[in-house]
Amino acid sequence: MSTPELLTLPDEPTVLADRRRAARDLYDALPVPTRQRTPLKARRLEAIPYREPAAADLDEVPAALRSAPDSAGHVVLSNGHVVVCQLSEAARQSGVRLLSLAQAAHQDAALVSEHLGSLVAVDTDRYTAANAAFWRDGVLLVVPQGIAVAEPITIVHWVGAAAAGVFPRTLIVARDDASVAVVETYLGDPTDSHRVLVSATTEVIAGPGSHVSVSALQQLPPGAEAFLRRRGRAQHDARLDWATAEFGAALSVAGHHTDLAESGARTTSYTVTFGSAAQHFDYDAEVVHIGPHTTSDMRARGVMSGRSRSIFTGLSEIRKGARRTDARQKEETLMLSPDARADAIPSLLIDDNDVFAAHAASAGPIDELAVYYLASRGIPRADAIDLLVRGFLGPVVERIALPAVQNRIWQAIDAKLQEERGRGTL
């Protein structure tokens, strides 16, 4: 069998090689995880030869994705290998560092070993352990103190037809008072339905007074089985904004977690989901208020059609001592089909008295009276539903501060709606 007994990268510092070995042991020891509403065993993920390393394939990455003129920096990973890494001259001059994680590992082993794996625990489950053991490359972004990167940094994770397993990692370090927006997209050929396991992690260290925004658009090809873990830590007065969208893949077990570690830290979290056919999304959005005077605003809206299934678990945890915090969450789902299923599970764990916390969740079918009203003005049913779906998702999309991300999400929504029309479900 060609499965590498243990993957090591050339010149990998001992400390990282040791961790990789430990992760590999964990991976071997951990079972396929049990998730309450996602029967993972039945998906037979182990039948995917995902430990086979796939080669980088730049040719397969659509030309339009290889560069991003409006970005301050742009990285393309093909099957987990960095194939493009560009940083604008202005960003470079200001001391911003954007590089391949493999390269960073031996150029700056101290920094990488300090932060890599400091937030996403290797033993979260078998697939985070797989990511820690089998990662080949990823991205390191460091924004120095006081530097505001005006344009976003864009990262494309391309999953090609030859890949069986893809394990990228992203590490974002924003120093004191720095500000940066990172946009990660997970993409592949929408007509490619071969099975591939994708396990990616993103870690964000938002230093005191910094403002980091991380957007993640999941539009993986239809055969993908994805595990996407994102975790950030916001220090004193830092702000960490998440915008995530789940549109692709057969299975996506994803989520983001924020520790509001020190006083004055803030986070916003906006998630848009559109499930169709037999897609299965299992998303965890979590925020832990540790410091006092911390605030969180979590909103998710999803549209489910076909026989798709979604689980959205929102958790706002307020630890003792996190007084004067404000934690809100709201999850809403629009059901386009009686065969689709959505569970929104909001929860609050509160261990301090002097706080404000609120949560709400709802799900319902399309408003037939609204369809009738629109039809009474000459709008055909499919167009009316199209309008209502956009109208439903709009309020969350429009909260996302970056126009470029809003546009990407609208394009993804367009594509989904187009697909639904093709299937005749509208």
Q: Which one of 91-99, 120-128, 280-288, 386-394 is the stretch in contact with another protein (CB under 8 A)?
A: 386-394
Q: Which is nearer to another protein, 4 or 391 (CB)?
A: 391
- Choosing from 370, 401, 402, 415, the residue that interacts with another protein (CB under 8 A) is 370
Backbone angles phi, psi at 421, to 5 degrees: -65, -40
Q: Which is nearer to another protein, 30 or 375 (CB)?
A: 375
Tokens of 277: 């056919």
Q: How far apart are CA 47 and CA 26, in angstroms?
A: 19
The residue with tokens 């390269």 is 103
Q: How far is the CB of 398 from another protein (least distance, A)?
A: 10
The verdict on 363 binding another protein (CB under 8 A) reads no
**Helix (H/G/I), strand (E/B), else coil: 372:** helix
**Is the separation of the CB atoms in 387 and 355 below 8 Å?**
no
The verdict on 422 binding another protein (CB under 8 A) reads no
The verdict on 242 binding another protein (CB under 8 A) reads no
Q: How far is the CB of 103 from another protein (least distance, A)?
A: 45
- Choosing from 368, 407, 411, 414, the residue that interacts with another protein (CB under 8 A) is 368
**Is the separation of the CB atoms in 238 and 268 below 8 Å?**
no
Q: How far apart are CA 27 and CA 25, in angstroms?
A: 5
- Choosing from 388, 409, 412, 417, the residue that interacts with another protein (CB under 8 A) is 388
The verdict on 338 binding another protein (CB under 8 A) reads no
The separation between CA 271 and the C-alpha centre of its own chain, rounded to angstroms, equals: 9
The verdict on 377 binding another protein (CB under 8 A) reads yes
Q: Which is nearer to another protein, 317 or 332 (CB)?
A: 332
Q: How far is the CB of 36 from another protein (least distance, A)?
A: 32
Q: How far apart are CA 220 and CA 79, in angstroms?
A: 12
The verdict on 46 binding another protein (CB under 8 A) reads no
Q: Is 369 left (phi over 0), alpha (psi -120 to 50) or beta?
A: alpha
Tokens of 196: 């591939």
Q: Which is nearer to another protein, 186 or 392 (CB)?
A: 392
Which value, to the nearest 10 degrees, does the dihedral of the CA atoms of residues 127, 105, 284, 408 take? -110
Of 78, 118, 129, 72, the residue nearest 100 (C-alpha): 78
Q: Which is nearer to another protein, 351 or 368 (CB)?
A: 368
The verdict on 365 binding another protein (CB under 8 A) reads no
The verdict on 387 binding another protein (CB under 8 A) reads yes
**Helix (H/G/I), strand (E/B), else coil: 99:** strand
- Choosing from 43, 66, 106, 381, the residue that interacts with another protein (CB under 8 A) is 381
Q: How far apart are CA 272 and CA 284, in angstroms?
A: 13
- Choosing from 383, 402, 410, 419, the residue that interacts with another protein (CB under 8 A) is 383
Positions touching another protein (CB under 8 A) are 367-370, 372-381, 383-384, 387-388, 390-395
